[in-house]
Structure formats: structure tokens, C-alpha cells
Amino acid sequence: MTNYSDAGLVQLAEGVHAFIGAGGDSNAGAIQTPDGWIVLDAQQHVPLAEKFRAALEDTGLRSFLWLVLTHYHLDHTAGNSVFASDMPVLAHQITLEKFREVLGAGVSRGDSFTEFEKKVSFLFGPNITGLIPAGDPGWDWFRSRIGEPEYATYIAAPPTHTFADRFTFHLGRRSAVLEYLGPAHCDGDIVVHLPEDGIVFVGDLLFVGRFPWLGDGDIEGWISALGHVAGLDVRQVVPGHGKPVGLKEVGEFRDMLIALRDGVAGALQAGMSEDEAVERVRLANYENLPRYPEWMPWNVRNAYRSLNSA
């Protein structure tokens, strides 16, 4: 079990912070304005969101203006209610569609959900029940992941404001550009680029020290989105999981996705079935990363499906 006390605030520039999850758990961020905080993601459950909120308030600024979501996944949005009771929630329009697809068309602030199927679909994608066969032992890991008491109830705070493609906060000497780069880690992923500071928050477009989840992603789109990030003039990149890094690590992560794509494309060219690809495609250089054993089969399965239909 993760020691949540290791999660904490890291200052990246004056008025710009990242909240780094313990042991590779999900990150969040916050930008200070004269009137209050713009919060970027809200942590993976209510107690951690409360810890994040308290850390921000401890700096002396106690008002909150906006909650921005990098994507819909539960481990970035289950703390929304801690922030969103009195503030607008801003996300790409596809993120709102995901809330509606999984939690119901009329999903509203404060609605709560306890069903395993809804929670696991919101954490890993609504296609997960089609990805992992019923009765497959792979389900055990997903059941235990969502089985901890902090995840018993998911309280929704869906986006109240949405945009397509691009949205900019103009904050005096600083701006924060929210940019949609197409389907990638899931769909609706955005990056938050602070050009004057040389900082970009990329959400789950980047995992540092952990093998990524691609089960509801688009492998080609993800590789291309990271190509865009690699072209930004930034010095600090805040991933969705793991410590902040630079563009070198973005390139290395992109190389891993390319290796995965090439492995699956090779399996398709060799005429392998999806099951054969799951059995045969290996990423020898990355097998020791946490989550590789649990997630690789489903990443291969999803990549096989997207490349096969391309």
C-alpha cells in the first residue's frame, strides 16, 4: 500500500507548483493568480485532494478560481468534489463526453457512484470490459486497484465549461495555454503550456518511472502528440505520474511507445492473431518497469485493434 504522506507540493517557478503523487501515483498542479488558484487535476481520491488543497492554502492563498482537468480518468478526477463545490471545472469537450458516457448523460456535480464496472471504466476506459475477457485472471489486479476503501465511492464533479482545441488564461506576465493534441493516452487529453515559464503539464501523455496505460488510448496519436510536446520551448515537463523531467525524457518515453507500436505492427504484418500478438510481443528494455506485467497485455490488445483498423 502506498504511503500517501510522501505526496507533496513542489515549486517549479514563482507561483507555479506541482503536487507529486507518492510512488508514481497521479500528479496535479496549481498556478497562482492574484485572485486565487487555477488548479490542474484533483488527485485520485478525496483524502489526497484534501491534502493537496491544504498544501496550497498553507502558502497563504486560500481562494480557488478554476479546476482544469487534463483528462477524465478517475485517478485525476476523484478529488474534484474537494475543489469543485464552489468553482467552475474546465476541460476539453471530449472529457465531458466521457463523464456522460460512463456515468450517465445527466451526470451532475455531487452524484456518487459505487459500482465496480463504472469505477473501473472511469479509471481505465469504457472499452475495458471488451478488452479484458470476462473471467480472465487479469481482472484480479483491476479489482484490487479499485478495491481500497478510498475508492469505495466516486463523487462526480463533471466539467462545467468545455473548449475545443485551445483555451488560454491571460495572467499578466504569464499565460497558460490549454491545448488538445488529438486522441492519445485516452481522448480529451490536454497539455497546459506556460510559455513564459518554460513549463508544460502534460497529464498522462507522460509516465515517468512507470509503464503507461494504453488500454483506452490511440498509439499513433500518442506518439504524434509527444512529437508536438518535444518541439515546445520548455525546460520542465510535469508528467501525470512521476517526477518532473525535461524534454530528453519525453523523447525516451516516445521511443518506448514507438517500440510498442513497431512490435504490434510487426505482429500484424506477420499475420499473428490478437492473442498471438499478446503472447509474443515483448519490450525487453522496459519489462522491469512497474505495471508492465499487469498492463502490457491490454496495451498490446488495444494497439493491435487500433493498428488493425487503421
CA–CA gap between residue 240 and residue 103 (Å, rounded): 23
Query: At closest approach, how far in Å is the CB of 62 from Zn ion?
Result: 29
Computed from CA positions of residues 303, 243, 124, 190, in that sequence, does the dihedral angle turn out positive or negative?
negative
Query: At closest approach, how far in Å is the CB of 76 from Zn ion?
Result: 6
Quick one: 179 or 204, whose CB is closer to Zn ion?
A: 204
Quick one: 15 or 240, whose CB is closer to Zn ion?
A: 240
CA-CA distances (angstroms) from residue 103 to 113, 204, 264?
8, 21, 32
Quick one: 73 or 301, whose CB is closer to Zn ion?
A: 73
CA–CA gap between residue 45 and residue 50 (Å, rounded): 9
Quick one: 120 or 277, whose CB is closer to Zn ion?
A: 120
CA–CA gap between residue 67 and residue 59 (Å, rounded): 18
Query: At closest approach, how far in Å is the CB of 98 from Zn ion?
Result: 11
Query: At closest approach, how far in Å is the CB of 36 from Zn ion?
Result: 26
Strand partners, 31: 16, 38
Quick one: 26 or 32, whose CB is closer to Zn ion?
A: 26
Please return the burial class of 185, using the count of CB atoms within 10 Å of its CB with bins 0-12, 13-18 and 19+. buried
Query: At closest approach, how far in Å is the CB of 185 from Zn ion?
Result: 6
Neighbours of 14 (CB within 10 A): 8
Quick one: 73 or 92, whose CB is closer to Zn ion?
A: 73
Quick one: 174 or 213, whose CB is closer to Zn ion?
A: 213
Query: At closest approach, how far in Å is the CB of 73 from Zn ion?
Result: 4
CA–CA gap between residue 269 and residue 21 (Å, rounded): 40
SS3 at position 37: strand
Query: At closest approach, how far in Å is the CB of 8 from Zn ion?
Result: 21
User: Which residues make up the interface to Zn ion (CB under 5 A)?
Assistant: 73, 204
CA–CA gap between residue 305 and residue 308 (Å, rounded): 5
Neighbours of 224 (CB within 10 A): 15
